[in-house]
Amino acid sequence: MNRNRRNNFWGLSGLILILLSGGILMTDSNSNAHASAGGAPAQNGWRLLEPVTYENISIFPVVSAQGADTSAFATLDEALASGDAVVTEQGSAIYRARDGSGRPPIAGGAQVNQLVLINRGKKPLLLLAGEVVSGGKQDRIIGKDRIVPIGAEPLPLDVFCVERGRWTGGSAKFASAMMMVHPSVREKAAVDEDQARVWAAVRAQESMSSNLESNPNAAGAAAGAAAAPTPAISSRSVDSAIATAAPTESYRKIYQSSQVSGSVENFADQVQKRFERATTGLKGERVVGVVVAYGGEVAWSDIFASSQLFEAYWPKLLRSYAVEALTRHATRETVSLTDARDFLRPASGRTREETEPGVYRWRERTEGKAAEIELEALDPKPLTLHWLKVLRLS
């Protein structure tokens, strides 16, 4: 090769290398931008749509073209309805498998913060913090996201009471209430793990008091000033529901009472109509979750591995968000798409982790008032089934 050809060769090669390296840098830059804007885990390819707004709530649909196959997992609602899952008080009964074989009860008497669950089905069972089960000596909510494998031994299940005034035998077995407690209650269980705060939040006291502390206008209204109106679900309406329909302070009965349920259903229906319009006609993408803001504050997100899981939980999640909105003071503030994207940035603070080998990994990260919880299935391959982030009220 003569000198001119060598120079031309190396000049062209150098140009190609420069272009390739530039392309790599552009790819990395775009990837990082997507990770910071789209949330964690970035490989899920999440994208936020413009918000669905009604009154004081803004809901940003989270869409993805990369939904996983989650048909191998059962939800608590469907498993309890079919008999594939059984939940009872501790020590109350022999647990029967589908084949009729019996397993002795877990020793010890009934406890407020523990039930027993057995998965008799043919699918691993997905549990989410905040799901309500009704029956036994008092209604409870699931305390923590987790997966119960096929054929597992009777499982001592961490729960929180959402019916403070009852400790008497109801049905021996628990049924699904087809409800998710609203975020203020769910936070106290999933993040704070505090029974007293769960009870306070059931009566809407936690969200109301926190709202007064952070919102001077709301405080003025509470003092009688001409400011924000009283929330649709006020402490007075909750007290009225307890006095007439829910003397045991049952969360289910309070929020299904005539004093409360009408407002919740109307609010949820209005949001659902707008949500359907905003998400109809998506091409190549499906809704897998939401980011939720109240007034000018992004406060919550629930994102799933698939649209199928999201659709299974959406009806009761929507009503839980509606209850939360109705316990907060009205405000004209709204949040932007950028605010919602910023909320999905992964927390980088303290991490706690719990693992059942070969079944699931639960991970919590906290940074300031933000807390995020990730539930990862480990079988048949690692898969994040649910990702939750909350801006804590306290």
Task: Return the exposure string of 356-391: e unless at least 16 CB atoms fall within 10 Å of the residue's CB, then b.
Answer: eeebbbbbbbbeeebbbbbbbbbeeeebbbbbbbbb
**What tens digit of pLDDT does each residue of 347-387 get?**
888 999 999 999 999 999 999 999 999 999 999 899 999 99
Query: CA 172, 176, 180, 186 torsion: positive or negative?
Result: positive
What integer pLDDT is reported at residue 44 of this predicted model?
61
**For residue 24, is pLDDT > 70?**
no
**What tens digit of pLDDT does each residue of 168-190 get?**
876 778 999 999 999 999 999 99
Confidence of residue 92 (pLDDT cuts 50, 70, 90): low
Q: Tell me what the mean pLDDT of segment 134-161 comes to.
A: 94
| Domains of the chain, residue spans | 43-391
What integer pLDDT is reported at residue 306 of this predicted model?
96
The mean pLDDT of the chain is 82
**For residue 210, is pLDDT > 50?**
no
Q: Are strands 52-54 and 85-89 parallel, antiparallel or unpaired?
A: unpaired
**For residue 247, is pLDDT > 90?**
yes
What percentage of the chain reaches a pLDDT higher than 70?
Answer: 77
Give the C-alpha separation, 324 to 14, whole Å. Answer: 60
Query: CA 307, 272, 57, 204 torsion: positive or negative?
Result: negative
Report whether 119 contacts 133 (CB < 8 A): no
What integer pLDDT is reported at residue 216 of this predicted model?
44
Q: Tell me what the mean pLDDT of segment 251-278 comes to.
A: 95
What integer pLDDT is reported at residue 109 of this predicted model?
65
In sequence order, what DSSP letters do the residues of 146-173 get, joined into one string?
EEE-TTPPPEEEEEEESBTT--S---SB
**For residue 206, is pLDDT > 50?**
yes
**For residue 55, is pLDDT > 90?**
yes
**For residue 126, is pLDDT > 80?**
yes
What integer pLDDT is reported at residue 26 of this predicted model?
28
Token pair of 132 as six digits: 């309500």
**For residue 13, is pLDDT > 60?**
no
Q: With 0-12 CB in 10 A as exposed, 13-18 as middle and 19+ as buried, what is 71?
A: exposed
**For residue 40, is pLDDT > 60?**
no
**For residue 326, is pLDDT > 90?**
yes
pTM of the model: 0.82
